[in-house]
């Protein structure tokens, strides 16, 4: 479990494939502190550390992960948001994030607003019920608040600290981000869906 508060960023240093899997070597300030079997969020994707070598660590994404996230677009030099898993005694400064990406969204607009940045994102309409005005959403692992929500679009406002300390500073229109919708919202939607099915059967 994560909070969506990014610890640091890393850089993809090497990529190689084995069958349908793709492995990444990530260079970062925290890589040397990691251990094999640890779970670390990479752009919002929970991946297992497989090997540590100096200031680099290696992770692998399977075909399912590659198909649902933007990891397949990573190249050597790509900047990656990193967060280690939540410890039980920590404050939950963001919101509950599992590291299980639901889909990707495309940045459609970027506006600089005299001290902050406003990003617009397009996402698949089938997930419309999971994005609410002023609700929590994780983009590339960053806990943010959605506003100006439409059926397949929303905006987020970014303060200077977040812009400078995450990969959002390199995000431009046309680029994609990983989305994880709010966990509580997903459970509520599932429960309502099952209740509706039960009611229809009884009729």
Of all helices (H) and strands (E), which one includes residue 80? Answer: strand 79-84
The reply to whether 8-84 and 103-189 are identical in fold is: yes
Residue with tokens 């400064």: 93
198 pLDDT tier (thresholds 50, 70, 90): low
CB 23 within 8 A of CB 157: no
CB 162 within 8 A of CB 169: no
- For 16, phi and psi rounded to 5 degrees? -150, 155
- Other C-beta atoms closer than 10 Å to the C-beta of 38 total 16
Q: Which two tokens stand for residue 201?
A: 């059967």
Supply the Cα-derived Rg of the chain in whole angstroms: 18
201 pLDDT tier (thresholds 50, 70, 90): low
Has domain 8-84 been given CATH number 2.40.30.20? yes
92 pLDDT tier (thresholds 50, 70, 90): confident
Q: Which of 130-134, 146-150, 183-187 has the lowest mean pLDDT?
A: 183-187
CB 52 within 8 A of CB 35: yes
202 pLDDT tier (thresholds 50, 70, 90): low
Region 31-54: mean pLDDT is 98
Mean pLDDT of the chain: 95
Q: Which two tokens stand for residue 155?
A: 């905006």
Residue 200 has pLDDT above 70, yes or no: no
Q: Is 144 helix (H, G, I), strand (E, B) or coil?
A: strand
DSSP structure class, residue 97: B
Q: Domain residues of the chain, as ranges?
A: 8-84, 103-189
* Tens of pLDDT, residues 140-179: 999 999 999 999 999 999 999 999 999 999 999 999 999 9
Cα(32)–Cα(54) distance, rounded to whole angstroms?
6
CATH number of 103-189: 2.40.30.20
């Amino acid at each position: 479990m994560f909070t969506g508060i990014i610890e640091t960023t890393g850089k993809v240093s090497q990529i190689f494939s084995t069958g349908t899997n793709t492995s990444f070597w990530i260079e970062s300030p925290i890589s040397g502190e990691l251990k094999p079997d640890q779970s670390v969020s990479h752009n919002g994707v929970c991946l297992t550390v497989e090997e540590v070598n100096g200031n680099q660590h290696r992770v692998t994404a399977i075909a399912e992960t590659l198909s649902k996230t933007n990891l397949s677009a990573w190249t050597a030099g790509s900047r990656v948001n990193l967060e280690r898993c939540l410890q039980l005694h920590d404050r939950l400064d963001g919101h509950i994030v599992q590291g299980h990406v639901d889909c990707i969204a495309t940045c459609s607009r970027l506006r600089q607003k005299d001290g902050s940045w406003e990003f617009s994102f397009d996402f698949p309409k089938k997930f419309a019920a999971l994005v609410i005005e002023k609700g929590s959403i994780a983009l590339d692992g960053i806990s943010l608040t959605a506003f100006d929500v439409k059926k397949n679009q929303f905006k987020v406002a970014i303060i200077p600290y977040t812009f400078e300390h995450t990969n959002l500073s390199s995000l431009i229109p046309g680029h994609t981000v990983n989305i994880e919708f709010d966990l509580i919202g997903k459970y509520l939607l599932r429960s309502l869906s099952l209740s509706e099915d039960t009611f229809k059967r009884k009729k």
